[in-house]
Amino acid sequence: MTIRLNKEKINDIRKLLSLFYTRILNSPIVHIGFLLAGIISCLVYSYNYEVLKVEIPDYIYINQKNLYIIDSGHGFNAKNNCKWKSIKEGDSCFYEYEFNKKVADQLCKLLDNAGIFYLRTDTLSDERDLAISDRIAIVNATKAALDEAGYISAGKSVVLFSIHANAARNEQASGFEVFTNIDKCKKYKDQVLCEKDMHIVATRLSDHLKLMFPEKKFRGTSKSEYKKTSMANDGEISLIDKTNCYALLSENGFYTNPVEREEMKQPEYQLKIAMAHYKTICSLENINP
């Protein structure tokens, strides 16, 4: 199966430009200038939305219970700004996106070795940042294609894991958090099953992180090991809230905490985080890690 991203946004841009030409601008010369600019912008947008062509092997329909999408939070352009999602350390920076990607790379190696197929949203992040809207589009296009192919109706699911590091004004803040959005199950045909499944996935990831880091603080709630996205600082997490699949976001330590930041630099620490996610996926597939 080949997955391509939806072109609806491109068509919306063309409609908007056409409206702008016909109703606001009267000069034919200006029309031509804006028309050329519009064509160029649409070509650029089309490039961004046509490069994603993913082949999903047929065997996953038989061999896997779910399709997993791995997202390493933030992106490549963060390296140009030491103040954004990073912290200055003398002449160098701690970049959250680098940490996230290293953990995701470790996780993907584990999945490769186990023969578990997955997709990554950050396929293009070595060339440009993927905006949250792009990542949401990738996930939802994948889910729609699998739904059309009968994968979802066969009782299988798409599960998104977004890997992050945390930050706080308080340098002593530390530990782990897992976020999900069970409320979006209201959109599912079987709301009860969706809520049950998302609770299971979020709880298993939380439990595996706690097992890997028993000495660390786990920032859950009194009712569950995980938090709803509405409890995040901004009151939402778009990647989790707006994707049409089971979705979790993990905050794996505080890089604003000097002690925890040093730990987060270590490959062994990164591997333990990856292992917690890997064991969660293995448990969903009913296989031994």
Averages of pLDDT over each 10 residues, the chain, 289 residues:
48 44 48 48 42 66 88 70 61 82 96 93 61 84 83 82 92 93 88 91 95 90 79 79 93 93 95 98 93
Q: What is the pLDDT of residue 190?
A: 87
Domain boundaries, the chain: 2-50, 57-285
Residue type, position 96, single letter: E
Phi, psi at 262, each rounded to 5°: -65, -40
Write the pLDDT tens digit of every residue in 52-71.
556 777 777 778 999 999 99
Write the pLDDT tens digit of every residue in 17-27.
444 444 444 54
For the domain bounded by 57-285, which CATH number is listed? Answer: 3.40.630.40
Q: What is the pLDDT of residue 106?
A: 97
Q: What is the pLDDT of residue 76?
A: 61
Q: What is the pLDDT of residue 259?
A: 93
Nearest by Cα to 87 from 267, 266, 260, 231 = 260
Q: What is the pLDDT of residue 115?
A: 93
Q: How far apart, in Å, are the Cα atoms of 50 and each of 40, 126, 130, 171? A: 15, 17, 14, 43
* Cβ atoms of residues 142 and 148 within 8 Å: no
DSSP state of 218: B
